[in-house]
A = this chain, B = another copy of it.
């Protein structure tokens, strides 16, 4: 031991720990540079590990990206769902859901970059996984829509779907718009306006 230098950095770790480490780096880099702008070599270098190891753990670039996406989406979905469930009635639930959505995205900008990039995956098997995550949101919205209608009455499912898809699309576009606008309106303002826009119309859904 003639050398006085320390050698702690390059230690082996068990699989679970490495996977977590890779995922965190990937989330950060994808968030900064986007899907296209990130190479697997970048991620590998950042973690201090070689590329094939990442392939062994995540299978492909899409696989790694999807792992990030699923985690972030899950987190976002939980936040919104909690806000919705805590509301005393349908009207408040709608507003609370919108507010939680926009607030979360304000507080996790890098997360949002990853989520927005999902459009990147419009081709390939990754698209299916992406759609599954989105479907959970649509389902939450559809549930809220039904909450708002006279209980026990049969409902036109097509109309519920149309409304739920509309709301999902509106909130996504608003989120993108807010990140690209210099001084965007506050989450409260946006949630309020959206609530005003939609609330009346939600009663027009017909029975099937």
Contact = CB atoms under 8 A, between A and B. Distances in A.
Interface of A: 33-37, 116-120, 122-124, 131, 158-159, 161-163, 165-174, 177, 180, 185, 189-190, 193-194, 196-202, 204-205
Given A119-B119, A122-B34, A166 B162 contact: no
Oligomeric state, in number of copies?
2
B177 A165 contact: yes
Interface centre among A34, A117, A174 (most CB of B within 10 A): A174
26 contacts: A34-B122, A117-B122, A119-B122, A120-B122, A158-B185, A162-B193, A163-B193, A163-B197, A165-B170, A165-B173, A165-B177, A166-B170, A166-B194, A167-B170, A168-B173, A169-B171, A169-B174, A170-B170, A170-B173, A172-B173, A196-B201, A196-B204, A196-B205, A197-B202, A197-B204, A200-B204
Nearest to A198: B201
A189 to B, nearest CB: 7
A170 B163 CA distance: 9
Contacts of A35: 123
A60 to B, nearest CB: 13
A153 to B, nearest CB: 17
A190 B162 contact: yes
A171 B34 CA distance: 26
Given A122-B119, A123-B37, A185 B197 contact: no
A129 to B, nearest CB: 14
